[in-house]
């Protein structure tokens, strides 16, 4: 049984079809990538999986602009597509959204502590802090600094680190490298690789196809709301049409 199983997922905003019958899975221990052009529906896919689309749907119900979410999402065998974002996170499916920013008025330490609110004990929280700082030495050097005074890239790093303060059974990350300089990007990808190697399955959405292909066991190519291809990097790269048309390689 896959850890995460998405079956025939569709999302419509009013009449616009954003996701159209998407099916994908992530097995225990796997690193799965999702790539595709701007506007393909990658962010919507992660938001639908993590309960954010459902939350939006509930908030908007009865007002103008209907949101329709259909299909099934299972996590550890359990249906989660009717759950809101908080319930999904409580089950261990942790979503680190696109362009996430930390709380500017809080220090690095306080931001991370806010991420650990579901921690069972002080010892557990301490262990998670240690892990975060081992993964992000740059943040360890800036514990007391107010998040608002970190560089844009460091803030983005902190947002990813904060997601790690949850006990993730699956980490779903949306464009973590967006706008980062090469050096920070490398640090961030190294951290993500290490998180995975320590046993946390990863579902990664990234513009940088080459980077995804180096890290992921398998990837899906999403275009106009549909999965148009999937497989290992070598298989996807071998497809000329795919390479030229969708992967930009």
Ligand X SMILES: Nc1ncnc2c1ncn2[C@@H]1O[C@H](COP(=O)(O)OP(=O)(O)OP(=O)(O)O)[C@@H](O)[C@H]1O
Place of tokens 């790690």: 164
18 lies in the binding site for ligand X (CB under 6 A): yes
Based on CB atoms, which residue is closest to ligand X, 97 or 115?
97
Name which of 42 and 196 has its Cβ closer to ligand X.
Answer: 42
Residue 239 structure tokens: 């497809």
Radius of gyration of the chain (CA): 18
Lay out the site mask for ligand X across 50-89 (x = CB under 6 A, - = otherwise).
----------------------------------------
Minimum separation from the CB atom of position 21 to ligand X (A): 15
Please say which residue, 44 or 177, places its beta carbon nearer to ligand X: 44
Distance of closest approach, residue 235 Cβ to ligand X, in angstroms: 22
User: What is the per-residue DSSP string for 149-185?
Assistant: GS-HHHHHHHHHHHHHTS--SEEEEE-TTTT--HHHH
CB of 194 to ligand X, least distance (A): 25
CB of 188 to Mg ion, least distance (A): 17
Half-sphere exposure in the Cβ direction for 166 (13 Å, CA): 21
Stretch that binds ligand X, among 37-45, 89-97, 154-162, 237-245 (CB under 6 A): 37-45
Binding mask 170-199 for ligand X (x = CB under 6 A): ------------------------------
**Cα–Cα distance measured from residue 11 to residue 115, given in angstroms and rounded to the nearest whole number:** 29
Look at the alpha carbons of 52, 56, 61, 66 in this order and tell me if their dihedral is positive or negative.
Answer: negative
CB 219 within 8 A of CB 247: no
Choose the contact partner of 18 out of ligand X, Mg ion, none; CB within 5 to 8 A by kind: ligand X
Tell me whether residue 43 or residue 219 sits nearer to Mg ion (CB atom). Answer: 43
DSSP 178: T
The DSSP bridge pattern shows strands 31-35 and 78-79 to be unpaired
Which residue, among 12, 40, 14, 24, has the nearest Cα to 247 in the 3D structure? 40
Residue numbers at the binding site for ligand X (CB under 6 A): 13, 16, 18, 36, 38-44, 98
């Amino acid at each position: 049984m896959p850890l995460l199983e998405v079956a025939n997922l569709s999302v419509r905003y009013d009449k616009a079809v954003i996701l159209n019958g998407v099916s994908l899975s992530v097995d225990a221990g796997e690193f799965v990538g999702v790539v595709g052009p701007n506007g393909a529906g990658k962010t919507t896919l992660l938001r639908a999986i993590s309960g954010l689309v459902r939350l939006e749907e509930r908030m908007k119900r009865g007002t103008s602009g209907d949101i329709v979410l259909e299909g099934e999402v299972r996590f550890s065998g359990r249906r989660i597509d009717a759950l809101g974002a908080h319930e999904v996170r409580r089950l261990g499916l942790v979503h680190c959204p696109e362009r996430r920013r930390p709380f500017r008025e809080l220090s690095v330490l306080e931001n991370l502590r806010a991420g650990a609110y579901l921690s069972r004990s002080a010892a557990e929280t301490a262990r998670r802090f240690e892990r975060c700082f081992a993964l992000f030495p740059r943040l360890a050097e800036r514990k007391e600094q107010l998040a608002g005074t970190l560089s844009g890239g460091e803030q983005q790093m902190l947002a990813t680190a904060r997601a790690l303060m949850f006990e993730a059974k699956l980490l779903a990350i949306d464009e973590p490298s967006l706008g980062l300089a090469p050096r920070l990007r490398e640090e961030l990808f190294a951290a993500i690789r290490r998180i995975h190697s320590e046993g946390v399955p990863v579902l990664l959405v990234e513009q940088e196809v080459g980077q995804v292909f180096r890290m992921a066991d398998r990837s899906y190519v999403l275009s106009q709301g549909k999965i148009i291809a999937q497989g290992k990097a070598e298989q996807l790269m071998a497809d000329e049409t795919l390479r030229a048309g969708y992967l930009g390689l």
